[in-house]
Each structure stands twice: as structure tokens, then as C-alpha cells.
Amino acid sequence: MGLSKVRLVELPKVTDAGASLTFVEGSRHLPFTIRRVYYLYDIQDGVHRGGHAHKDHEELILAVHGSFDVRLDDGKGSITHHLDQPNVGIFFPTFVWHELTNFSPGTVCLVLASHCYDHEDYFREYSEFLAAVKHKRS
């Protein structure tokens, strides 16, 4: 559970004729079918994104341009990864609090998600998340 399932995912990188191409195939590169894709851009200096956890969906986050830090917390411990390569992302499962910080200028952050948006899927308060994690473990 939690951080034990977090992993960096290196996606294929094909370089040909002066350009690079990276692709994602849900059943091949991810442990889920991609049902939602969104991206963050025009991120102002000092902005923090995320600050929540999901009950039912998993994500892969990539820095397709620029860089940022991803802090992941399962209620028992936390890890931080710096993403700065467009073909390397971080996968995390349900019940992992995540925060994105330290965005470089011009960053574009791409998120691939296992579910469509559902307001009820979110833990938006850290204390609520911790209580749910404790209940899940017991």
C-alpha cells in the first residue's frame, strides 16, 4: 500500500531526424487504462499544486517541459522526486497525498489518470486523509 507502489516510469524515447518522440500505452506502460488527461501550464512563481489524495484513482505525472518536485505521502512517510525529463514520470496509486512545488519557468506538467474527474474521489484536507488511512489499515 502507499509508497511501496510508487515508481518512476521511463517511457520510450525515439529520436530520429533531429526530434524526439515519447508515447504512452496504458496497458503497456501503466497499470491502468487512461481515462483522463490534463496538463498544467502558465504556472506562476511560488505556486503549489495538488495538495490532495484520491480514494479510487491512480496517476502518472510527467514534466513534459521544465521541471518541478513531487512530494508523495502515504500517512506513514513521504518521498520527494524531482521531475525534469519529458519521458520519465512518477506513478502513484490511491491513498497517496501529493503536492507539486518548485516549478521552473515555462513548465508544462502532464497528468494521466485512471478515472474521470469526480469531486467525491478527493481527500482535500490532510487530517481527513490521515483518518481514512488509519481506518483503512485497521
57 is catalytic: no
- The three grid cell numbers given for residue 132, joined into one nine-digit string: 481514512
The angle subtended at Cα 100 by Cα 98 and Cα 102, nearest 5°, is: 150
C-alpha cell at 2: 502507499
- Catalytic member of 29, 48, 52, 81: 52
- Euclidean distance between CA atoms 112 and 15, whole angstroms: 23
Residues involved in catalysis: 52
